[in-house]
Amino acid sequence: LDEAKTQACLRGYSDTRLDITVEPEDLAYVIYTSGSTGTPKGVMVEHKQLAHYIQFAMAEYGGAHLQGAVVSTSQAFDATVTSLFYPLMTGKTVYLTDQTEAGIEQLQAQLQDTQPWLFKLTPAHLHLLQQLPWQNEHTDTAHVVVVGGEQLSTQAMRVWCNRLPNTRFINEYGPTEAAVGCCIKEISAQQPLCEHETVVAIGRPIARTRLYVLDHNLALVPQGAVGELYIAGEGVARGYLGQAELTQTRFIANPFSDEPHYRTLYKTGDRVKWLDNDELQYLERMDDQVKIRGHRVQLSEIDEHIQQLDGVHMSLTLHHAQTLISFVQPLQVDLKLESVALRQALAEQLPGYMLPQQVVRIEHWPLTANGKFDTTALLALAAQVKPQHSSAGISNPVEQRIADIWCKLLHCDSLSIDDDFFSVGGHSITLVALMVSLNKAFQRSDVTIERLLQSSTIRAQAQWLSTPAKTVREVSPLTALNLPESAGQSDPGKLIVVFPGAALASHNYVAFGQAATDAVYVAEPWSGSQQGCYYKSLEDQVTQVCQWLLTHHKSDKVTLVGHSFGGFVAFSVAHELTKKGLDVSLNLVESLVFNTSDDDFKDEPDWVQLGQELNSDKAHAELLEAQLKVTQGLYQRQLGWAAEYRFEERYAGPVRYIFSTENTYFKEVGKVIENVQQHCLQQVSVAHVEGDHFSLFDERHSAALLQALC
């Protein structure tokens, strides 16, 4: 501005103040943020919210000793408000760094400057700076470094407090919807962090700001309990540009105050808790929790364990396309990181469902314009990394062939010959996909779910796949879905038999079997070992199932579960076994038995939609296609059975009818129970389990369903 050319240009303009009045409620800026959803939202920040934050920053971060501020982030990122407006409002210097790789070196130079500056950085900036060679191990300048945008680790802070011992570090938390920052915690060499903490707390609210930790009913949670963070105060934005419905959802009336500055609560979507010292601890995004094999997983917990391993400097784990991918940076460039060794070390600390299926070595972290880790670039890098399919201990072609199939299904780059299938990411769908793949690859038909459960390592599977397939074997009407500890004992305990719906086969119930402590079998809707060889009639299936149970089951306790169409078979089997003196408990899960009419079957199902429901992870299209092909023929067969079904006697045993909470099949629940009750001597009990018609039996809801059985 002080160059002669610029001054000459400015003299051509009027120096009269423009007659423009700016009100506190006028819009100051709109910043677009995608947050965790990936859908851009324009956040409308008014002058009063901007002024509130700048006044706070000038008072809290500023000081007469500071030269000014270093701007190292994009103007499209609201973190820039701190470093840009503070010096302009106080008549100090604005130092603009390049928005290129050279900018990191410029940042380093300013941090080593003997003159103190204000910096606004992200944890990713700190990490990149840490990788650079430093001329001086310690710099005594009294800088002020405000860190925000991502969770800050205590490990990183200890490094920087040692490097810059006289610098004030402030961990600042604040979504764009709360005008840059609303909560801070100061860290310095003179205020050491607790040894047992892995992440820095976000501290306490700034002036004229109130923070609430609430449950799903908008009730305050006690200290130490986890809840969602809600923000009220002068910094809360107006809302989202052009998205009135979203604004009403996220900016709500404050039930705790009607004071003008606190009437609106912003719903952050962040999980937090109050610590004993009255500081807030940020935990995770509500939508960053991923569900893996029915378990809620916090990805940062995986990274905490990876970063404790020898030779690891930093890691970032992402969940993409049903796969856990860990990006790992070694301490040294020439240090070798073995994926198998890393997973084996993690397996001693984490359950199988938390082990990464793919490990990608990374030397330099890509950043977005906002200074955050660029996850899109990382996933693109992972897609370019060709799996090596190397497996420790492979000694023959059969083992290698099996290992290649495992790696393809589990998206792994390497495996050990003694890895357990479920410990490296296998689940109910991939288990059946493995069954299909092995039968196809080795031209066999005797690879069953039961056999894979018995032999869950590459070594064990190779041993029996190296022997000729059995051409003659006993044909059982039931398929085992688990291997309970009680198997083979003199008192095997309760036996559970599931009778599937018309659209389902055994693999849809594997998760249910895995969740049970008792033996679980599924009564396949076809006779013999091949799909498509259907029973001649419902009575034929009932006869074969009853005969097998009376011959092979050592206990007289049997629990039958009839799902959808399977209720017809289950009801008849229960009646026959009860007459033989067995202790039978009958459970009808959204079953059609006694609740059908000709109108129910006049239209063909939407097979495409049905396929999408059955294969929600969209991971195994080939398996789904084969299942639907079988399903369509079976559906027509069972339609005939349902139309002809007659039950003249009344069933004497206990009956429970189970509905899903998302029940879309039966509008008149009372009528359904009334129809079943007419055919039972005992009172029919009713239970509700979370899920829908298909998901009741998956990994998310199996435990609850087992608990609900009578």
Domains along the sequence of the chain with CATH: 4-285 (3.40.50.12780), 299-338+347-384 (3.30.300.30), 397-466 (1.10.1200.10), 478-709 (3.40.50.1820)
Mean pLDDT of 400-426: 79
Asked if the model's pLDDT at residue 621 lies above 90, the reply is no
For all residues of the chain together, what is the average pLDDT? 82
Q: What is the pLDDT of residue 25?
A: 95
The pLDDT-based confidence of 506 (bands split at 50, 70, 90) is: low
Q: Between these two residues, 694 and 378, which has the higher pLDDT value?
A: 378
Q: What is the pLDDT of residue 690?
A: 84
Q: Between these two residues, 59 and 623, which has the higher pLDDT value?
A: 59
Question: E strands within 437-572?
Answer: 478-480, 495-499, 519-523, 557-563
Asked if the model's pLDDT at residue 158 lies above 80, the reply is yes
Q: What is the pLDDT of residue 428?
A: 65
Starting from the edge strand earliest in sequence, which strands make up the sheet with 358-361, in order? 312-320, 323-330, 358-361
- Within 10 A of 158 (CB to CB), how many other CB atoms are there? 15
Most confident option among 250-264, 431-445, 564-578: 250-264
Where does 385-496 have alpha helices with state H? Answer: 397-410, 428-441, 449-454, 458-465
Q: What is the pLDDT of residue 622?
A: 53
Helix (H, G, I), strand (E, B) or coil at 406: helix
Q: How far apart are CA 652 and CA 680, in angstroms?
A: 6
Q: Is 505 exposed, middle or buried (0-12, 13-18, 19+ CB in 10 A)?
A: buried
Percent of the chain at pLDDT exceeding 90: 31
Q: How far apart are CA 342 and CA 359, in angstroms?
A: 9
Q: What is the pTM of this model?
A: 0.56
Q: What is the pLDDT of residue 488?
A: 43
pLDDT in tens, 368-394: 877 788 888 999 998 887 655 455 677
Q: How far apart are CA 417 and CA 511, in angstroms?
A: 24
pLDDT in tens, 467-500: 876 544 455 788 787 766 544 444 455 788 888 8
- Write the DSSP assignment of 110-123 as a string of letters: HHT-SS--EEEE-H
Asked if the model's pLDDT at residue 244 lies above 80, the reply is yes
Mean pLDDT of 665-687: 85
Which of 96-105, 311-320, 497-506, 541-550 is predicted with the least confidence, judged by mean pLDDT?
A: 497-506
The pLDDT-based confidence of 455 (bands split at 50, 70, 90) is: confident
Q: Between these two residues, 337 and 629, which has the higher pLDDT value?
A: 337
Q: What is the pLDDT of residue 173?
A: 96
Question: E strands within 321-448?
Answer: 323-330, 358-361, 390-392, 414-416
The pLDDT-based confidence of 636 (bands split at 50, 70, 90) is: low
Q: What is the pLDDT of residue 234?
A: 96
Q: What is the pLDDT of residue 430?
A: 76
Asked if the model's pLDDT at residue 600 lies above 90, the reply is no
Residues 6+ apart with CB under 8 A from 119: 69, 70, 72, 83, 107, 110, 111, 143, 144, 145, 146
Most confident option among 37-41, 416-420, 658-662, 699-703: 658-662
Asked if the model's pLDDT at residue 527 lies above 80, the reply is no
